Amino acid sequence: DAGITQSPRYKITETGRQVTLMCHQTWSHSYMFWYRQDLGHGLRLIYYSAAADITDKGEVPDGYVVSRSKTENFPLTLESATRSQTSVYFCASSEGHREKLFFGSGTQLSVL
């Protein structure tokens, strides 16, 4: 199916474990983004990417790692999960400058 998909939809993990959230888009959009959504904070940008092999830090990158070896995939890894990383994570993509974002359905992550 065309679009942007995230997996898993729900994830429960323990502190200290490594977790990878997947994001895949079928449009070949150049730009991709990872956000986290928390009550009282709205959306906060974690990392973004302008093209394959080009990534940059956003507002809250600490504790996260991204890669973009292929245009269509943009995985987000929590190297050693902490309780403060409990959140809903959204991946998004766009065609380019001044264009709207397309969002995935989100991954709800709980770190116990």
Partner 1 sequence: GDSVTQMEGPVTLSEEAFLTINCTYTATGYPSLFWYVQYPGEGLQLLLKATKADDKGSNKGFEATYRKETTSFHLEKGSVQVSDSAVYFCALLSSGGSYIPTFGRGTSLIVHP
Positions touching partner 1 (CB under 8 A) are: 31, 33, 40-43, 45, 48, 50, 58, 90, 92, 94, 96-106
- Following DSSP, what letter does each residue of 8-55 receive, concatenated? -SEEEE-TT--EEEEEEESS--SEEEEEEEETTTEEEEEEEEEETTEE
21 token code pair: 């959230």
Burial class (CB in 10 A: 0-12, 13-18, 19+), 2: exposed
Residue closer to partner 1 (CB basis): 85 or 107: 107
Shortest Å distance, C-beta 78 to partner 1: 20
Shortest Å distance, C-beta 84 to partner 1: 19
Shortest Å distance, C-beta 36 to partner 1: 12
Shortest Å distance, C-beta 55 to partner 1: 13
Residue closer to partner 1 (CB basis): 42 or 69: 42
Instruction: Please check whether residue 102 is in contact with residue 94, taking contact to mean a CB–CB distance below 8 angstroms.
Output: yes
Closest CA to 89 of 4, 39, 24, 21: 21
Residue closer to partner 1 (CB basis): 69 or 97: 97
Residue closer to partner 1 (CB basis): 42 or 62: 42
